[in-house]
Amino acid sequence: MQPKPVAVRRESYEGRGADGRFYLGDAPGLLDALVPEYRGQVKLIYMDPPFLTGERFVIRARAGEGDWKTGRSSLTLPAYDDDLDPESYYALMRRALEASRELLRDDGMLFLHCDFRASARLRLILDDLFGPDSLLNEIAWVYHTGGTAKRYFSRKHDTILFYRKTRSYDFNISAVVAPPVKPRQNHMRKHVDPDGRVYRSIRSNGRVYTYYDDDPVPPTDVWDDVSHLQQRDPQRTGYDTQKPLALLDRIVRCASREGELVLDPFAGSGTALEAAKLLGRRFVGIDKCALVPNILRRRLDGAPWELFYPEPQIPEGDCRVGILSGVGFYHARLEQVPMPWDMLDNWALGYLEGDRFRVLKQSVRSRKEPALLPELEVPVFNGTLGLRLSDVRGKSHHYALDASDFNNPNV
């Protein structure tokens, strides 16, 4: 049968754990729109906006089973252009930060990831909105990837500006302590306690300070223990400016607790959203790049989350599906899709409820499962059976499957 194209504004995914949302669209406008619903409810905001580089960023996408098997990316697609003039950039950031402050809880915190290009003016904007006393750290995330400069010192760190909303912020350093890598300062006297543990002591101003060699160590404001993603890192999604999960794991752990809400308004490949999912935090993400939903369908697999499109997605091209309706289930087989098969990135079967598509089963290409399943099966529910096809370029096509046509070979 030939399914009927339908306009869909949002998709929901079933799963376990804390729930999340992702909005495809422009951050400042969406943040303003979120304020009435979420004012004072967000515990942690992590933002990794464009850095004012003037560059164009891409995604190296995998198209088809062959690419997923070999790990090759045969398609390079534009992801976003970091090309705003400085005045427009700072106006956008001020607006996004103003709304962000409204969204934060009184015990909430904001981490703004940037680099030498914009950190000075972003800090002034943040000082203005949050108060200069609210700057807790200027974190240097130090990495060793990239080339070597000849006309200046090689730039090997990003800056993360860490602000609190009020003095009663809820920061949990004990959640991010790490085992010691080397014994502490050797100028201290070394002792062994009755249990055989090694500790060092030093006397200063009449007080004796003791430090055990095996005490866990909290991070300082220089983060040189989280490496940037290597070219062949299995975490890599192909998104140019993807950050490592370990970086976001640290931020999410120390600045939020289970069940609390984490927001990333420039979510990109969804690193912060995945960290939130893995740590049982609720999350809201925003990004204007149409390629992001395909990445999130992989990274957020298993979590209950909703995807909001800025405008209804209307399909183009011919699609044919074979439907089998059994006792208590529908079984759908893709017979023809409106794109070359290798350009189909993922597809889903579920139910249409107004302009919402409730996904019950999906097949998504991945390293583990490079081939798409040609058939999916879902239980019978009230409502209209629906289908979504998403191509590698980020376009989603939604269709309704009319139950009265299922056993009619002429439709």
Ligand X SMILES: C[S@@+](CC[C@H](N)C(=O)[O-])C[C@H]1O[C@@H](n2cnc3c(N)ncnc32)[C@H](O)[C@@H]1O
Q: Which residues bind ligand X (CB under 6 A)?
A: 26-27, 48-50, 80, 239, 241-243, 266, 268-269, 271, 286-289
Write down the least CB distance from residue 24 to ligand X, Å.
9
The DSSP annotation for 22-81 comes to EEES-HHHHHHHHHHHHTT-EEEEEE----S---EEEEEE--HHHHHHHT---EEEEEEE
Write down the least CB distance from residue 297 to ligand X, Å.
15
> Please, which residue, 264 or 342, has the CB nearer to ligand X?
264
Q: Identify the CA nearest to 117 among candidates 82, 80, 164.
A: 82
> Please, which residue, 243 or 277, has the CB nearer to ligand X?
243
Beta carbons of 271 and 277 less than 8 angstroms apart: no
DSSP label at 238? Answer: S
Write down the least CB distance from residue 287 to ligand X, Å.
5
Instruction: Collect all residues with Cβ–Cβ distance below 8 Å to 154 and sequence separation of at least 6.
Output: 146, 147, 148
> Please, which residue, 276 or 378, has the CB nearer to ligand X?
276
User: Using alpha carbons only, what angle is made at residue 355 by residues 278 and 385, rounded to the nearest 5 degrees?
Assistant: 85
* Coil, helix or strand at residue 330: strand
Write down the least CB distance from residue 307 to ligand X, Å.
15
> Please, which residue, 51 or 169, has the CB nearer to ligand X?
51
What is the rounded CA–CA span in Å between residue 254 and residue 162?
Answer: 12
> Please, which residue, 243 or 358, has the CB nearer to ligand X?
243
> Please, which residue, 266 or 305, has the CB nearer to ligand X?
266
Beta carbons of 1 and 318 less than 8 angstroms apart: no
Write down the least CB distance from residue 165 to ligand X, Å.
22
Write down the least CB distance from residue 326 to ligand X, Å.
42
For the four alpha carbons of 73, 77, 80 and 82, in that order, the dihedral sign comes to positive
**Structure-token pair, residue 81:** 């252009």
Beta carbons of 89 and 57 less than 8 angstroms apart: no
* Residue nearest ligand X (C-beta atom): 268
Write down the least CB distance from residue 267 to ligand X, Å.
6
Beta carbons of 22 and 306 less than 8 angstroms apart: yes
Write down the least CB distance from residue 227 to ligand X, Å.
14
Looking at residue 205, its amino acid is: N
> Please, which residue, 49 or 338, has the CB nearer to ligand X?
49
Helix%, strand%, coil% for the chain, nearest 5: 20, 35, 40
> Please, which residue, 64 or 265, has the CB nearer to ligand X?
265
Maximum Cα–Cα distance for the chain, whole Å?
Answer: 94
> Please, which residue, 250 or 358, has the CB nearer to ligand X?
250
> Please, which residue, 254 or 272, has the CB nearer to ligand X?
272
Instruction: Collect all residues with Cβ–Cβ distance below 8 Å to 201 and sequence separation of at least 6.
Output: 188, 189, 191, 208, 209, 210, 211
Beta carbons of 294 and 131 less than 8 angstroms apart: no
**Structure-token pair, residue 33:** 């729109």
**Structure-token pair, residue 228:** 């940037």
Write down the least CB distance from residue 345 to ligand X, Å.
18
Write down the least CB distance from residue 158 to ligand X, Å.
10
